[in-house]
Amino acid sequence: MKNKHLFLLAIILVCSYTAFAQDTSLFEKKELIVKGDTLPYRMLYPENFDKEKTYPLILFLHGAGERGNDNQKQLTHGSALFLDQNNRTKFPAIVIMPQCPKDDYWAQVNVDRSNYPVQLDFQFKKGPTKAMDLVLQLLENYEKEDFVDKNKTYVMGLSMGGMGTYELLARQPDRFAAAIAICGAGDPAYATNYAKKIPVWAFHGAHDYVVSPLQTMEMVSALLHEGAFPRLTLYDFANHNSWDPAFTEPDLLPWLFSNSLNKE
């Protein structure tokens, strides 16, 4: 009987893994090549995609641990949110998940990992990193397509991707309709660029030992100082993986999709 139960458990695990593999394969493998530089990315089209219709565009930026060139690891966190059948039905969208090279970073920042939480020195004036520059080019390419709703481009990111999210808002304050930054950080000095233009929902775990929750508090404080009304969720139980509870927030996607550049 024990062996039978183990066998059934093994079958369930295999089936679960297969289902996951099939799901992630819905994200098409693509790459952007510009002057010899390559940006791998995965792209999820809405169900029953019709190029005669228009859809919101979501850019999702992964964390530092998912960097590389396998065009796979960036799906580790976040892809399940967009593959959820209920979400695909209620919130049809084009989702782009690029992968940052191992030796690059989404944000222009010096990261000191000699102690934790990490120490961050943002260098906004240096301009975007090569990886971020490629992301901007990728966005520009897709926003030229008729099937992309130009009023509903959104950006989400976690950890390093949260840093990239804040930087994108500062560099492109007229492009995004809303942003979600999870366990991220940014330069509060540039919050003035987008504070009154782009709704922001920030998440962090109070126990985060990698990126201090004070980083998010500083960004939210800067936005409030500029007259914005950011949304803040601080999990008293979460460590760096605050994306796990964030992705289960029932209002996450409804809030995101409720925002548009044309405020109709």
Do you find a cis peptide bond into 40, omega within 30 degrees of 0? no
User: Distance between alpha carbon 102 and the CA centroid of its chain, in Å?
Assistant: 17
Q: What is the CATH number of domain 29-257?
A: 3.40.50.1820
19-33, 121-135, 244-258: which range is least confident on average? 19-33
Structural contact between residues 93 and 46, judged by C-beta atoms closer than 8 angstroms: yes
Question: In which band, very low, low, confident or very high, does the pLDDT at 264 lie, cut at 50, 70 and 90?
Answer: low
- Asked if the model's pLDDT at residue 21 lies above 70, the reply is no
Question: In which band, very low, low, confident or very high, does the pLDDT at 14 lie, cut at 50, 70 and 90?
Answer: very low
pLDDT given at position 23: 75
- Asked if the model's pLDDT at residue 11 lies above 50, the reply is no
Question: In which band, very low, low, confident or very high, does the pLDDT at 262 lie, cut at 50, 70 and 90?
Answer: confident
Question: In which band, very low, low, confident or very high, does the pLDDT at 19 lie, cut at 50, 70 and 90?
Answer: very low
Location of structure tokens 């405020």: 263
What is the rounded CA–CA span in Å between residue 256 and residue 178?
Answer: 6
The mean predicted confidence, pLDDT, of the chain is 93
pLDDT, tens digit, for every residue of 32-77? 999 999 999 999 999 999 999 999 999 999 999 999 999 999 999 9
What is the rounded CA–CA span in Å between residue 90 and residue 14?
Answer: 29
- Asked if the model's pLDDT at residue 20 lies above 80, the reply is no
| Mean pLDDT, range 7-27, rounded to an integer | 52
Location of structure tokens 């991707």: 161
pLDDT given at position 12: 39
| Mean pLDDT, range 254-261, rounded to an integer | 98
pLDDT given at position 263: 72
User: What is the number of alpha carbons within 13 Å of residue 199 lying toward its C-beta?
Assistant: 16
DSSP-derived secondary structure letter, 46: P
What is the rounded CA–CA span in Å between residue 116 and residue 109?
Answer: 16
**% of the chain beyond a pLDDT of 70:** 91
Structure tokens that stand for 42 in this block: 């995965």
**% of the chain beyond a pLDDT of 90:** 90
109-112 and 119-122 as β-strands: parallel, antiparallel, unpaired? antiparallel
- Asked if the model's pLDDT at residue 190 lies above 50, the reply is yes
Nearest Cα to Cα of residue 71 among 35, 98, 95, 45? 98
pLDDT, tens digit, for every residue of 72-107? 999 999 999 999 999 999 999 999 999 999 999 999
What is the rounded CA–CA span in Å between residue 205 and residue 182?
Answer: 9
For residue 80, give the 3-state DSSP assignment: helix
